[in-house]
Amino acid sequence: MSAHKRFRQGQILKILASESVASQDDLRRRLAHLRLRVTQATLSRDLRELKLVKTAAGYQPLGAIAEEAASLPPLARALREYLLDFRPAQNLLVLKTPPGGAQPLAAAVDAERFAETAGTIAGDDTVLIITRSQKARAELQKKLEELLK
Amino acid sequence: MSAHKRFRQGQILKILASESVASQDDLRRRLAHLRLRVTQATLSRDLRELKLVKTAAGYQPLGAIAEEAASLPPLARALREYLLDFRPAQNLLVLKTPPGGAQPLAAAVDAERFAETAGTIAGDDTVLIITRSQKARAELQKKLEELLK
DNA sequence: ACCGCGCCTGTATAAATATTCATCGAGATG
DNA sequence: CATCTCGATGAATATTTATACAGGCGCGGT
């Protein structure tokens, strides 16, 4: 690998570590300030080689980011995947899912061992969660909704 | 957030977890198989909300990837940033850098405490590394070059 | 019921990114 | 030296992604 390219990629890392860069053209302009003139095409290649990805907050090193985002807790993920609707009724909370979704969703809810739940029953597309009181049901519902934010 | 959107995003996570998706349009086609018809524009929004990024290997959750890539060891990073050229001479290894780059590069080399180095001297754009023998110099050079791969 | 207000989405389009193709220059090899 | 190969790059372009705008829909408040 040529010294030139190496140096350029080093500068790219340096720039990205300190500032937020919105686009490859933006990066190109910043490099130009350092007397490094290359085209966007070259930067596209550099960024791939360096394994940098574009995020909402500019280009970032792939490892350096903690972010929960993807590895959501299992329940949050299950809710996103299966939950179609909440149907509260007194101290009961009914969750509707697509066909076949109730069992896995109920399992995920059970796994959390919420204090509010007295028990759960899962059919094919419906999960029935029984709580101790209407108040408990409201709280549980709130928690579940929170997970969907 | 609507149940519809939630479910769709859940399916997106599910799809991406199991297969490699090259583009938003690709993802759109896969969702269509599941009776989920949305446009690329909507997926662009979904992907941002879910904090998924496009990598060489398709869209990936930001957290789930270990990859070294970015957090290179300090010396590797310094080499990329400053090293312009190797100039071997007997048991000496001269490193050329842009103006002002020698001090930080020398510091990074020192920090590694390589067995081969007898000492280092840094000017403004030149680092002189003194090794015990020509053989040691060759080995050190090899190690440094390795870090640039 | 009728607003007003926020989401959510599609359409059309702008903006950004990846790639194809050609060229140049730095080593190898005969 | 002539030639070959290969990595690096730019120019042009294809492809992909983001966004400006507008419409629709549901919901709370009057």
DSSP letters of chain B?
--HHHHHHHHHHHHHHHHS---SHHHHHHHHHHTT----HHHHHHHHHHTTEEEETTEEEESTT----TTS--HHHHHHHHH--EEEEETTEEEEE-STT-HHHHHHHHHHH--TTEEEEEE-SSEEEEEESSHHHHHHHHHHHHHHH-
Coil vs helix vs strand at A76: helix
Predicted confidence at residue A50, as pLDDT, reads 86
- CB spacing of A63 vs B64 below 8 angstroms: no
Q: Is the CB of B45 under 7 A from strand C?
A: yes
- Which has the minimum average pLDDT: A7-16, B38-47, B59-68, B98-107? B59-68
CB contact under 8 A, B7 and A80: yes
Confidence at residue B44, expressed as pLDDT on a 0 to 100 scale: 94
Q: What value does the mean pLDDT take over residues B135-144?
A: 82
- Confidence at residue B95, expressed as pLDDT on a 0 to 100 scale: 86
Enumerate the residues of chain B whose CB falls inside 8 A of the CB of residue A68.
63
Q: Specify the pLDDT at position A23.
A: 93
Which residue is associated with the tokens 């807790």? A73
Task: Say if the Cβ atoms of A80 and B3 lie within 8 Å.
Answer: no
Q: Is pLDDT of B47 > 70?
A: yes
Instruction: Indicate if the pLDDT at residue B80 is higher than 60.
Output: yes
B47 touches strand D (CB under 7 A): yes
What predicted TM-score, i.e. pTM, was given to this entire model? 0.66
Which region among A9-18, A39-48, B5-14, B140-149 has the lowest average model confidence (pLDDT)?
Answer: B140-149
Contact residues on chain A for B62, CB-CB shorter than 8 A: 53, 55, 62, 65, 67, 69-70
Q: Are A127 and A107 in contact (CB under 8 A)?
A: no
List the single protein residue with the shortest CA to C1' distance from D26.
Answer: B2
What are the helix (H) ranges across B34-131?
A: 40-49, 74-82, 102-112
B80 interaction partners in chain A (CB closer than 8 Å): 6-7, 9-10, 13
Q: What local confidence, expressed as pLDDT, does residue B70 receive? A: 46
If you measure CA to C1', which residue is closest to nucleotide C26? Answer: A2
Whole-number pLDDT of residue A47: 92
Q: How far is B75 from chain A (nearest CA, A)?
A: 11
The pLDDT value given to residue B68: 35
pLDDT of res. B30: 93
- Residue A140 has a pLDDT of 84
CA distances from A24 to A20, A27, A40, B43, B97 (A): 11, 5, 6, 22, 26
- Cβ of residue B25 near strand D, that is under 7 Å? yes
pLDDT for residue A31: 92
Listed residue (A148, A112, A39) closest to B5, CA to CA: A148
CA-closest candidate to residue A43, choices A18, A12, A14, A72:
A12
- Helix, coil or strand: residue A108: helix
The residue that minimises its CA distance to C1' of C17 is A44
pLDDT at B88: 78
Residues of chain A with pLDDT under 70: 63-72, 149
**Phi/psi of residue A20, nearest 5 degrees:** -95, 125
- Residue to mutate among B2, B4, B5, B7, with most A CBs inside 10 A, is B7
Model pLDDT, residue B65: 40
Which residue, among A37, A31, A132, has the nearest Cα to A90 in the 3D structure? A132
Q: What is the pLDDT of residues B89-128, one digit of tens each?
A: 788 888 888 777 787 788 888 878 888 888 888 887 888 8
Selected for mutation to probe chain A from B8, B75, B80 (highest A CB count within 10 Å) is B80
End-to-end, the C-alpha distance of chain B in Å comes to 46
Q: Higher model confidence: residue B7 or residue B65?
A: B7
Split at pLDDT 50, 70, 90, the class of B69 is very low
CB-nearest partner of B11 from A67, A81, A85 = A81
Give the pair of three-digit tokens for residue B13: 């996570």
Helices (H), B19-123: 24-33, 40-49, 74-82, 102-112
The yes-or-no verdict on residue B67 having pLDDT over 60 is no
A48 CB closer than 7 A to any strand C atom: yes
| Mean of the per-residue pLDDT values of chain B | 81
What would the pLDDT profile of B126-137 be if each residue is shown by its tens digit?
888 888 888 888
B38, pLDDT greater than 50: yes
- Which residue reads 């928690």 in tokens? A143
